[in-house]
Each structure stands twice: as structure tokens, then as C-alpha cells.
Structure 1
Amino acid sequence: MMIMKILHLLNYVGRGGSESYIKNLINTESDFEHQLLYNIDGGGVEDFQDLGVKTIQCDMKSPLDLRASKFLKNYVKGNDIDLVHTHFMRENGIAFLSKILGMKVPVINTRHMVSQISKKSAFLNKIFFTKNEKIIGVSSLVKERLIEEGAREEKILVLPPPIPLIGQVEPLKKEKDEKWILSVGRFSEEKGILFFIDGLNELFKEIDNARALIIGYGDLEDQMKKKIHNYKLQDKIEIVGYRSRPFDYLAAADLYVNHSKEEAFGLSIVEAGYCGAPLLITSNCGARDYFNEKNGSAKTFQYGDFEEFKEKALEILTKDDLANSLKVNAKKILDKDLNQGQVIKNIESLYEGVISESRKN
């Protein structure tokens, strides 16, 4: 079978969830070649290049950037691209204009965000969606938001993001009887990181042998450090910094906490589950489709509820039977519904179907 070329569009390339989504799709044994057209290198372009991905820089000033749209159209034609995969509104608008200008290949869009957008942006999105063959929502939460914005329900597929191949992990060593609470993510408002530190302050009043390790980076780091200092928790909370593969930390965790105010999915939850960390997650993240109290794979709490967070964290940290049950049930969900090979296969099957259909027309 001929190799099919997929061109991903990203305005900003850092080391977040959308970048991981694309990197986790890359499989050298598949019939797909992934390329990346980007605007701003936020430190993540080299990661793609290290994976052998061809990267092309193109200025993208706005969703209605005519020059970028012409560049995209010409690049697609000149390099035999089979499908364009957009990941945010700006890039989807540019692809929309390229289609208006005559770009022949199909465009699909993945929605990675669940945050509320302005009426103007929602209006533009509704127009841009008309040139998407399919729209992937990474969770049922995202699907609801897409429908609110005017996307046609029959175009939307709910598919979880590709999962990284983790393999065998050796947990980090820690002090005997010490409990580790892990958090992985960007230090931003929507991730709820300041709420987490406030919650830890309440939790540490009830338990002595626990420490929190926070992995990530972001704009709120200075505010985090200030809170930790004000609470006098420097010996209880450690900001580890960014780790591309934090699996040895996760494997040593006695509790993994997702504290998002809003999150489309939450890939780190999956990584934590694979590494055997008991899960405590907010009901505001899309991963609740899979990890929840109904199937016994996670404990959940309402974002902003300090008391519920504290009670459920204490329950997991002090009851070994509960922690083990959460780990076992999460593993069942991962094997059944979030198997890495099957998730990638589902997305590649979508690529194949859309490309095949476009060639008939």
C-alpha cells in the first residue's frame, strides 16, 4: 500500500497535550507519514524532528490569514499531501480558506479544548466546520461543546487521544512509609494548580507522612511558589519541573491527582493509570468517560470543593484495599478501552476512510 501523507497544522509548538497527541500517533510501521506545518516554536519543534517528522515553518497571523492559506494550498499540492489535520481554531480557519481557494485534499479537525469561547469565535468556528470532513472530539464533554458551537453532530466522532507507549517502568526510590502525591500538567488557571496547592494545605493538616511532587511548567509557577512559602509547605511540596516521560515518578506515586478546572481529556491521567497510581480526578475532565466511581477505576471530586478533595485523598492514602482496587480497575479500563494500538488504529482508519472517500469525488 502507498504511504499516505498527513499534514498537521499547529500555530504554536510547545510540549502540551496537542503536541503529545501528534507525537503519539507516529508509528514507523504504519502506512502514514506525518508532517508538521507550524508557526511559532515554543520549544517543541525539536521533539518532532527527533522523531523524524518533517517540519515546515509558516507564519499564521490569524484564522483568516490569506497568505498562510495560499502557502498551505501550494505546499499540499507540491508535496502530495493526502489529508490536512488541524488542531485549533486558527489553523482550522487557515485550512478553511485553503479549501475555498481550491485545495483538493480533505481536512479533519481535532478539538483538544473544552473552554468556553466568545460568540465571535463560535460563529467563525461554525463556518470553518463546514469544510471539515470529520471533527474528532477527545471526550463527550468536547462533543457537547462542539454541538453548542454549531458543529453538525453527524460529523463528530468521540475518539480518545493516542496513548504513549510506556513499557516497563522502574519506580523512583522514596523514604520508607512516605506517601507520594503526584500531579503532572501545565501550570495554568484551567488546570487548577493553585486550587491544588490550597487543597494540599488542608490535606497536610490531616496526614503527616505525605509529600506532593508537582511535575510541569507554566506561567503560574511564581504564584505557586508564593503560596507554598506562605503556607510554610516547602518541605511538603516539591515543584519538580518539566519531565517529558515522568513515568518513574508516577510508578512511585501513592495517589495521582487531576485538579483541572476544565480539561478536554487529561492524558496524564492515562499515564498515571498505566504506571499503577491510584486516581483522584475532577468531574470537569473528559477522562471521566473512562475513569470514574461507577466502574471503580477512580475517585472523583468537584473542582473547588476542598472538603471533598481532602476526604477522598485521605481515603485513598490511608486505605490500601481501596488504593489497590482503584489500580486494578483502572488497568482493566486501559486494556479494554484505551489500548494504545487500538486507539491509533481507530484514528488511522478514519484517515483511510476520509482519504478514500475524497478520491472518489
Structure 2
Amino acid sequence: MIKVLHVVTRLNVGGLTTFLMNYYKHIDRSRIKFDFVAIDTGQKHAYHDQFEKFGGKVFYMPSQFVQRGTFFVKLLRNGNYSVVHCHIEVQSGIYLLLAKLTGVPVRISHAHWSRENNGFQNRVLKFLLNRVVTLRAGASNIAIEAVVGKDYSTNSRVIHNAVDLEHFKFDESVRKHYRKSFNFGDNIIIGFVGRLTHQKNILFIIEILNTLVKQRDDIRLLVVGDGEDGSLFKKEIEDRDLAPFIYWLRERSDINELMNAMDILLLPSHYEGLPLVAVEAQAASLHVIASENVTRQVNLSSFISYEPIDIGSEFLWSKAIESIGKDYLRHSTTDVLTKAGFNIKEEAKNLLNLYENLVNGS
């Protein structure tokens, strides 16, 4: 059996954790075992128990850097891992160097963001990464290039942010039940799912909502998630008297059902690698309006469109929302998403084959 150690910063609610969970749930666990190592926050991470339920072990490294390195080397020496798979952008180079020195044969860097930083420290880390990695991977080509650089990005592998298409498939009965439960009525429900951070540009959604409610009274915003900008988000809501128009559910496990109840999903991010939530929404036949900064590699169906996020463009988003409305036909996207490589049942097989080929040297 192949043993893979995934290196992350957190195993809390978010796109990366969902990505790992999707693959581990659907991969053949009789042939491969995933373990996970994250940075200690003083408490058990949200997905700890779920990963252990599927047979994986979860380890926590000390937050102090030198102690973290010592812990990581000891973990590698005792774990008998064939693969170390790192998900922390250019910082992966440090862990993959330790993996190389410890004798781990397969060392994968996996890029999830498209934000490139060419500061001195990042250039050093990128230089290191490209000399200790054995496979450069990522959610998209643009994410890979941002982490390893253009010169190395051609020798790489995209691992799709695939989802369980059946789990997210649109169900009219679920939609009616959830809309009734939340008393949505005939309102147009615009949604946001993700962490409340600068990256996700959550305050821009407030601008869009503020523009819409001045024109009509049948708009509501459903926010699912929390994060470091949560207090700023709350203050903006209060300052603009928008609380009556917002449902803020924070972290939830029923994202698929909530997407059934939504009419439009907003993704105004400043940058993304390949946003898993956009794939999930299209699997639910939910129309996504995405920032022009979001890669076109997530343009998978007729249920997505793009708008700019510069100053004043909230009016363009408002017009797009009004144009789309809530009465469009939500037909199945299973075939088109499977063909594009986003069906987790197929992609989990491909990932297993990739690991086995790398370990066996083929």
C-alpha cells in the first residue's frame, strides 16, 4: 500500500480541505492511505475526525518554525511515506527539502492559488522548490505558474478540483423545502460560499447588495462562511443598515442543499487558483457570476459568466443579477463536467494511477 503524507496549514472548512476530502472519500483506500499534517492551533481542526473516519491519521506540527522542522523530520522517519504532497504554495519547498533529505522518493508541490509574489523571500523559496520537487501540480495552469514560475510550469500536472456531481445535482424538491424553511418566498437569493477574506473580496458583495436594494425589495444575500474579515463584514452590514436583507449562516455542512435554494452565486475574488465552489455551483446548475480575475478554466458550462471588479463595477453585477433572475432552467451538467474532468469518481482513479506510476517510476 502506498502511504501519502499531505502537508497543509489547516484542516478547517475551506476549498483545500474539501478538495482533499473529496479525493479521499472516493479513492481506493485498499491501495493507498492518506495521512495529514497541519500546524497546531491549540485545538482539533474541523475536519480532523472526518479524515480519521476514512483511515487517515492527522498530525499537528508546532507553530514555532524550528520545532516544526524537527517534528516534520521525525514524522517522515517514522511514517514510511512514499509520497509527500504539499499544499502550501512556495513554502512547500521547505517541507519538500526535508522530505528529500529524509529519503522520500516522490515529492509533489500542489498550487491552489493564482496569486504570484515575486518578493525576495518568495523568489528564494521558489528557487528551492524547483530543485527539490519531483512533480509540480496544481488546480490550474495559472496556479502552477504562479508558484513554480513560467519556466517550470510546462513540466507539470493539473489535478482538477473535482466534486461529487450526484451530491450537488439540482433537486427541485430540496429547493422548495429549503426556501420554505428560510422563508425566502419569491425573493431572488444571491449567495456567497467561502471564507470572509480579502482574497474573496467580500466587501464588494456588500456594494452589490447596497446597489440592488435601492432599486428593488426582492433581493436577499445568503452568506455561508466566516473568516478573518468577518468583523469587518459585520460592521459594513450595520453601517449600511443591510441586516434585514442578509442571511449569514457562517460555516455549514449542507452546501449542496443551500445551492439548490440559491438563484445566483457571486464569486468576486481578487485571485483564485481554481475555485472549487464554482465547480460545485455549476454541478448544481446554479448560475455563477465570477470576477474577471478568476481563471477561465472554471468556465465549464452555460451557468457561469464574468464581470470586472474595478471601482463602480458593482452596477454591472447588479444588472447581470437582474438579467439572470431566478426563473432560468436548471438542467443537468453531469455530462459536460465529467467530460471536462471534474467528476470525482473518475478523477480519484486518475489520482491513484498518478501516485502509483510515480512511486513505481513509470
Give me the TM-score of the superposition, normalised by structure 2. Answer: 0.86
Shift of 1:195: 0.8
Q: Does 1:106 align with 2:106?
A: yes
Q: Does 1:157 align with 2:157?
A: yes
In structure 1, the residue corresponding to 2:10 is in which secondary structure?
strand
Instruction: Report the equivalent of 1:274.
Output: 283
Letter in 2 for 1:355: V
Q: Structure 2: how far apart are the matches of 1:39 and 1:179?
A: 41
Compared CA separation, residues 308 and 37, structure 1 to 2 (3 A): same
Instruction: Report the equivalent of 2:321.
Output: 313
Identity value in percent: 21
Shift of 1:163: 1.8
Q: Structure 2: how far apart are the matches of 1:63 and 1:121?
A: 19
Q: Structure 2: how far apart are the matches of 1:64 and 1:155?
A: 34
Instruction: Report the equivalent of 1:352.
Output: 356
Q: 1:300 aligns with which of 281, 303, 306?
A: 306
Instruction: Report the equivalent of 1:135.
Output: 136
Q: Structure 2: how far apart are the matches of 1:28 and 1:145?
A: 28
Shift of 1:311: 1.5
Shift of 1:40: 1.8
Q: Does 1:340 align with 2:344?
A: yes
Counting only pairs closer than 5 Å after superposition, residues 1-361 of structure 1 correspond to structure 2 as 3-26=1-24, 27=26, 29-30=28-29, 31-41=31-41, 42-59=45-62, 61-62=64-65, 66-75=69-78, 79-88=79-88, 89-99=90-100, 101-117=101-117, 118-146=119-147, 149=149, 152-164=152-164, 167=167, 170-171=174-175, 172-174=178-180, 175-286=184-295, 288-291=296-299, 296-304=302-310, 305-317=313-325, 320=327, 323-324=328-329, 327-328=330-331, 330-337=333-340, 338-357=342-361
| Native 8 Å contact 1:136 1:156 kept in 2 | yes
In structure 2, the residue corresponding to 1:280 is in which secondary structure?
strand
Q: Structure 2: how far apart are the matches of 1:28 and 1:135?
A: 21
Q: Structure 1: how far apart are the matches of 2:66 and 2:273?
A: 22
Letter in 2 for 1:308: L
In structure 2, the residue corresponding to 1:191 is in which secondary structure?
coil
| Native 8 Å contact 2:109 2:135 kept in 1 | yes
Compared CA separation, residues 165 and 96, structure 1 to 2 (3 A): farther
Q: How many matched pairs?
A: 343
| Native 8 Å contact 1:6 1:34 kept in 2 | yes
Letter in 2 for 1:200: L
In structure 2, the residue corresponding to 1:227 is in which secondary structure?
helix
| Native 8 Å contact 2:93 2:132 kept in 1 | no
- Aligned Cα root-mean-square deviation (Å): 2.5
| Native 8 Å contact 2:2 2:33 kept in 1 | yes
| Native 8 Å contact 2:73 2:102 kept in 1 | no
Q: Structure 2: how far apart are the matches of 1:111 and 1:152?
A: 13
Q: Structure 2: how far apart are the matches of 1:240 and 1:65?
A: 35
| Native 8 Å contact 2:115 2:143 kept in 1 | no
Q: Structure 2: how far apart are the matches of 1:285 and 1:329?
A: 23
Shift of 1:34: 0.8
In structure 2, the residue corresponding to 1:33 is in which secondary structure?
strand
| Native 8 Å contact 1:214 1:238 kept in 2 | yes
**Bigger mean CA offset, 259-268 vs 25-34:** 25-34
Give me the TM-score of the superposition, normalised by structure 1. Answer: 0.86
Compared CA separation, residues 279 and 104, structure 1 to 2 (3 A): closer
Compared CA separation, residues 213 and 63, structure 1 to 2 (3 A): farther
Compared CA separation, residues 62 and 154, structure 1 to 2 (3 A): farther
Unaligned runs of 5+ in 1: none
